[in-house]
Structure 1
């Protein structure tokens, strides 16, 4: 199966006070860092970055696409990314730019957790579903479009039309590679404020 990745970079970042995609992460922007991590995680497969219309980003070694409507929501952005990967990948790992501790082992473990019959695999970590650290089959494009046509805007709506399997912490760290690389699943921690971003930076 061909594996690619989608990086959602076009959020409002209202609590951060500036665009998360352009935050500094040890000498590179958050979006550059995210692209580099997921590219390794998907074995050099295609990486798509979804930005808001007109959003300025640094030069990226990735497919760059724009949301049809600015800030329409993560479901629309995911759909845009899946459409961009049609014909190039069968599975897409999707993430944002605000989980800078994410490592390639996490990406690979989530993709490996996808079973026959699953349209998507979504980790549950700390009691919270993580649809932006998840693997989706590209074939769900028409079903996501149907959700959007029905007025849905959140990733939580995907199980309405797709077979989504939740993967718990124990199953994730039972993956030998991830269990060795990130047994506490720190890669799932995200930052919404400057203070949270600085705290994650200090730990890396």
Structure 2
């Protein structure tokens, strides 16, 4: 089974005020923290206006959303990764989760079984569908939903075979699943100066 790492970095970041992928924390950009958690090699799905910036930073596999689904959110990003690459199992990670650890992502991969369409962690009672794994066989369902402009990830999860994993089962801590959406969230990161994201 061929595995592909995918970094979603196409959000408009309206609440934050600037592209979150390139925001620096502890000397590295958010997307670099996320990429490290994936294990270095990753396909990046982003907005057209950010492609050059990623490439200038040395990234070679950067794609914008596939036509005709440009700008249609995370589901479009996942679909684009399926379309642009030749894989079976895809680890998906949003770029605004700089505290996620490599060990956590590796443990999620270990939870995949032959009949699993997706593995989704749950932390603090909340599902984390953008820190997850998906099998490419769901691509026709994704295409159908995007064509009908049904963009909620929950609608997708209702239609596929999902293995939900409590964070405690994989020794993940709640802080890892913190999304940085606002400046207040960013200031909270200062509480985690010694947090080891890359172990």
Which TM-score applies when normalising by structure 2? 0.85
The aligned counterpart of 2:167 is 169
- Contiguous gaps of at least 5 residues in structure 2: 194-199
Tell me how large the CA RMSD over aligned residues is.
1.9
SS in 2 for 1:57: helix
Matched, 1:197 2:186: yes
Distance 1:37 1:57 in 2: 21
Q: Tell me: CA distance 1:151–1:8, structure 2 relative to 1, closer, same or farther (3 Å).
A: same
What is the CA–CA distance in structure 2 between the aligned matches of 1:27 and 1:109, rounded to whole Å?
27
1:166 match: secondary structure: strand
Give the match's secondary structure for 1:71. Answer: coil
Is 1:9 aligned with 2:9?
A: yes
Aligned to 1:50: 45
Counterpart of 1:38 in structure 2 is 38
Partner-residue secondary structure (3-state), 2:53: coil
Tell me if the contact between 1:38 and 1:104 (Cα under 8 Å) persists in the aligned partners. yes
Three-state SS of the structure 1 residue aligned to 2:13 is coil
Q: Evaluate the alpha carbon distance shift between residue 15 and residue 148 of structure 1 in structure 2; reply closer, same or farther with a 3 A threshold.
A: same
Range moving further from structure 2, 190-199 or 126-135: 190-199
What is the TM-score when the length of structure 1 is the normalising length? 0.83
1:79-158 aligned within 5 A: 79-85=79-85, 87=86, 89-158=87-156
Unaligned runs of 5+ in 1: 41-45, 174-181
1:50–1:118: structure 2 CA closer, same or farther, 3 Å change rule? same
**How many aligned positions are there?**
188
**For 2:60 and 2:25, how far apart are their aligned partners in 1?**
18
